[in-house]
Chains A and B, each alone.
Chain A
């Protein structure tokens, strides 16, 4: 079976989806499925055609052409994609939906190739409109997966006609080889990991910090990641007088994330936007870290309130401070939550379950095309 795996960015980019995709492809290749990756160029200077881990990579300047409204370049890319599909003859195109490169997939639709769309982002209500790219693509796909119940519910509410060809597949993540260590409480260490953009709400965590430092003077906060909000966050920390308690460590190599998580007492995910899933919450759970997260998107499904962490309302530094205080003041409760989180990370969000779910879907879609 041949799968053309389409994703906005791929290794060496290292967002949650990018790293997950690389592990996922390696796992299914070991089961005999042949993969090709179609992806965007991003900002790095990378070749159009490449190979990583034995997987052919085809890069296109999708977003650059669409963003520049360059109709000629759009058509040239469209032709290259059509030629590629024709040459590779995949059984399935597996599109990971997070960007408008979907336009090029839809424009090069081939009847005998099955189309699987995995939704990795909160859907806008405009999906209901058939004059939208998302609306057309989702209705035309042979199958749709959502990575959380919240996103699947959104899809079925916005576009009820997709109910018969959509299902939930929770994200999984390979269990790291590094074992989880004991939670440190002296000093307590908070961790935020992700892109430094407004939507992640790391500014809310900084706003909660003065209250927390009054109760736990030795507390430290590490913010791992980078992005356009970094300067503003550094300024905010300085203005709040908490700069000495905050470490901005930049991007962290994916291989180093488990070790980083091991340094934390708990992980905070103060997101404002509807996180489709929240992969960092799963990674934290794997390392037996309790998580304080906001009630947005799929996060309350990954973090079970009162069991594996605490869920708070978004946009509330005081709610964040209260939840963090509760866990830091009751170390036994925090440790128990971490252990339960670790257990669920291996059962409900297990890696093998995730890989098997897609292997079954691939098989079913390929067989349906043969009938």
Chain B
């Protein structure tokens, strides 16, 4: 069982990850698997990137979201297990970084974080596009804007 003190880092040698507006997209560059984390999932990913351990993540969740610590800890552990299973994070010996310290005026509704997996993205991208070699319209529609 993972320690509450264990810290993690994104597996940056194999994974491209970005967070925007609290939502994360993760791409395993080795096998082409795509993942997404929305809502609480994106929030937790940001904390993991900052080097937070389970205890710190749970504390931050309880401050920001309408959730009890027991529920939050169970969900965080599950998400971390999922992220490790998919080789998106690894254990880290580094010190943790800064955590969000300000309590919001009102806590946000809580949703169980889940890692969405899109295992067929590479296969879909390999589908032949309709007109792959077309670089100029062979004809123009009269009323089309330039």
Q: Report how far A362 CA is from B144 CA in the complex, Å.
A: 28
B130 touches A15 (CB 8 A): yes
Using an 8 Å CB-CB cutoff, how does the interface string of A43-62 with B read, 1 for contact, 0 for none?
11001001111000000000
Given contacts A99-B129, A133-B120, A197-B128, contact A71 B17 (CB under 8 A): yes
The verdict on B59 contacting chain A, using a C-beta distance below 8 Å, is no
Q: Report how far A129 CA is from B132 CA in the complex, Å.
A: 29
Q: Report how far A230 CA is from B34 CA in the complex, Å.
A: 34
Q: Report how far A78 CA is from B144 CA in the complex, Å.
A: 27
Using an 8 Å CB-CB cutoff, how does the interface string of B105-121 with A read, 1 for contact, 0 for none?
00000000000111111
The verdict on A72 contacting chain B, using a C-beta distance below 8 Å, is yes
Closest A residue to B33 by CB, please name it: A131
Collect the chain B residues with CB atoms within 8 Å of residue A250's CB: 138
A42 touches B25 (CB 8 A): no
| 87-131 of chain B: CB within 8 A of chain A | 116-121, 123-125, 127-131
Collect the chain A residues with CB atoms within 8 Å of residue B127's CB: 98-99, 121
A42 touches B134 (CB 8 A): yes
Contact of B145 among A42, A50, A76, A129 (CB under 8 A): A50
In the assembled complex, the CB of A349 is this many whole angstroms from the nearest CB of chain B, namely 21
Given contacts A43-B135, A79-B21, A124-B123, contact A131 B129 (CB under 8 A): no
Q: Report how far A242 CA is from B74 CA in the complex, Å.
A: 71
Collect the chain B residues with CB atoms within 8 Å of residue A18's CB: 130
In the assembled complex, the CB of B88 is this many whole angstroms from the nearest CB of chain A, namely 12
Closest A residue to B124 by CB, please name it: A100
A12 touches B130 (CB 8 A): no
Contact of A52 among B123, B134, B141 (CB under 8 A): B141
Collect the chain A residues with CB atoms within 8 Å of residue B123's CB: 124, 126
In the assembled complex, the CB of A198 is this many whole angstroms from the nearest CB of chain B, namely 9
B132 touches A11 (CB 8 A): no
A133 touches B129 (CB 8 A): no
Interface size class of A (residues with CB under 8 A): 35 or more
The verdict on B49 contacting chain A, using a C-beta distance below 8 Å, is no
| 159-212 of chain A: CB within 8 A of chain B | 195, 197, 199
Q: Report how far A42 CA is from B29 CA in the complex, Å.
A: 24
B16 touches A42 (CB 8 A): no
Chain B contact residues: over half helix, strand or loop, or mixed?
loop
Closest B residue to A16 by CB, please name it: B130
Q: Report how far A208 CA is from B120 CA in the complex, Å.
A: 37
Collect the chain A residues with CB atoms within 8 Å of residue B29's CB: 69
A107 touches B36 (CB 8 A): yes
Closest B residue to A14 by CB, please name it: B131
Q: Report how far A195 CA is from B134 CA in the complex, Å.
A: 11
Q: Report how far A197 CA is from B16 CA in the complex, Å.
A: 33
Collect the chain A residues with CB atoms within 8 Å of residue B18's CB: 71-72, 74-75
The verdict on B23 contacting chain A, using a C-beta distance below 8 Å, is yes
Collect the chain B residues with CB atoms within 8 Å of residue A308's CB: none
A74 touches B25 (CB 8 A): yes
A126 touches B131 (CB 8 A): no
Collect the chain B residues with CB atoms within 8 Å of residue A70's CB: 16
The verdict on A8 contacting chain B, using a C-beta distance below 8 Å, is yes
Q: Report how far A135 CA is from B129 CA in the complex, Å.
A: 21
B119 touches A44 (CB 8 A): no
Given contacts A44-B135, A50-B145, A71-B25, contact A8 B130 (CB under 8 A): yes
Closest A residue to B17 by CB, please name it: A71
Collect the chain A residues with CB atoms within 8 Å of residue B25's CB: 71, 74-75, 78
Q: Report how far A99 CA is from B17 CA in the complex, Å.
A: 23
In the assembled complex, the CB of B87 is this many whole angstroms from the nearest CB of chain A, namely 15
The verdict on B136 contacting chain A, using a C-beta distance below 8 Å, is yes
The verdict on A236 contacting chain B, using a C-beta distance below 8 Å, is no
Contact of B20 among A43, A79, A133 (CB under 8 A): A79
Collect the chain B residues with CB atoms within 8 Å of residue A53's CB: 143
The verdict on A257 contacting chain B, using a C-beta distance below 8 Å, is no
Collect the chain A residues with CB atoms within 8 Å of residue B125's CB: 63, 66-67, 100
A124 touches B20 (CB 8 A): no
A–B pairs, 8, beta carbons within 8 Å: A9-B130, A50-B145, A52-B143, A69-B29, A79-B20, A107-B38, A133-B120, A226-B134
Q: Which residues of chain A have a CB within 8 Å of any CB of chain B?
A: 8-9, 11-15, 17-18, 42-44, 47, 50-53, 63, 66-67, 69-72, 74-76, 78-79, 98-100, 102-103, 107, 121, 124, 126, 129, 131-136, 195, 197, 199, 226-228, 250-251, 253
- Which 5 A-B residue pairs are closest in the complex by CB-CB distance? A71-B18, A100-B124, A75-B20, A15-B130, A132-B120
Q: In the complex, given contacts A100-B125, A251-B138, what are 8 additional A-B residue pairs having Cβ atoms less than 8 angstroms apart?
A: A12-B139, A51-B145, A71-B26, A76-B20, A98-B130, A124-B120, A136-B118, A195-B130
